[in-house]
Amino acid sequence: MAPFTFAAHGYKAFECYAPFTDLILLSDMQWSDSGCTQTTAEQLLVAIGIADIVVAFALLLIRSRWAAFYMVVWGSVTAASRMTAFGFDAWPETLIRIANGGVPLAILIYWMTIRKPVAPTSSS
């Protein structure tokens, strides 16, 4: 499910989905007030969207551990973005979305702990 979730969210980001824009703008206002404009937020979303789609395909097609790690970090950051935008009272929204980082973490742990089969030796 993780790659499909990332691809879907990537598409929404690429399309500058308004709630995602709001998360960026509100987080900026809460934490740095650097004057991030809607145009800047939308440009960031396009880049994020492209990255998310590429990473989703990398996880599906080549089983990239790097892609899984990216998904762990970015999924956790985006889950926490609810609290950075709306304050601690948004913790239930963060909790609901924590699987966006947790599922790729489970995949990454699995890939890192499985042992590769030993090639059979010929006894000629």
Q: Which residues contact 115 (CB under 8 A, 6 or more apart)?
A: none
How far is 113 from 51, CA to CA, in rounded Å?
27
The domain limits of the chain are 2-112
Q: Tokens 């990537």 map to which residue?
A: 10
Q: Taking Cα atoms as reference points, which of 43, 54, 41 lies closest to residue 10?
A: 54
User: Token pair for residue 14?
Assistant: 């690429």
| Per-residue pLDDT tens over the stretch 17-59 | 999 999 999 999 988 878 899 999 999 999 999 999 999 999 9
Band (pLDDT 50/70/90 cuts) for residue 1 is low
User: Token pair for residue 112?
Assistant: 């890192």
Q: Tokens 């030993």 map to which residue?
A: 118
Query: Would you say residue 89 has pLDDT above 50?
Result: yes
Around Cβ 122, how many Cβ atoms within 10 Å? 5
How far is 36 from 96, CA to CA, in rounded Å?
27
**What is the pTM (predicted TM-score) of this model?**
0.81
Q: What is the pLDDT of residue 122?
A: 62
Q: What is the pLDDT of residue 98?
A: 92
- Strand segments, DSSP code E, in 1-124 are none
